């Protein structure tokens, strides 16, 4: 089973990297960019085929390591 965990900064956290990317897009002349916030994507392959178990494992992975929940949110998707 394939899964994806997306980690993004909480909206209250300043994202200087996102700001820099936003500035670069504007200087490239890409139209209509209001703002950019960057994050991380983890594509994970699971040996388990049980959906509930897989979701629990992914949540544990995100809480224990993939995200720093002080500053980041995460979203788990089974693909």
Q: Which stretch binds other proteins (CB under 8 A): 8-16, 25-33, 45-53, 54-62?
A: 8-16
Instruction: Spell out where the chain has E strands.
Output: 2-9, 39-45, 72-78
Give the residue from 38, 55, 37 showing the smallest Cα distance to 46. Answer: 55
Nearest-Å Rg of the Cα atoms of the chain is 16
Q: Which stretch binds other proteins (CB under 8 A): 9-17, 24-32, 43-51, 53-61?
A: 9-17
Query: x/- contact string, 24-53, with other proteins (CB under 8 A)?
Result: ------------------------------
């Amino acid at each position: 089973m394939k899964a994806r965990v997306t980690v993004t900064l909480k909206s209250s956290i300043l994202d200087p990297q996102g700001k820099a990317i936003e500035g670069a897009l504007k200087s490239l002349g890409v139209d209509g960019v209001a703002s950019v916030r960057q994050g991380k994507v983890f594509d994970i392959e699971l040996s388990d085929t049980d959906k509930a178990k897989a979701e629990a494992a992914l949540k544990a992975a995100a809480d224990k390591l993939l995200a720093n929940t002080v500053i980041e949110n995460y979203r788990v998707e089974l693909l």
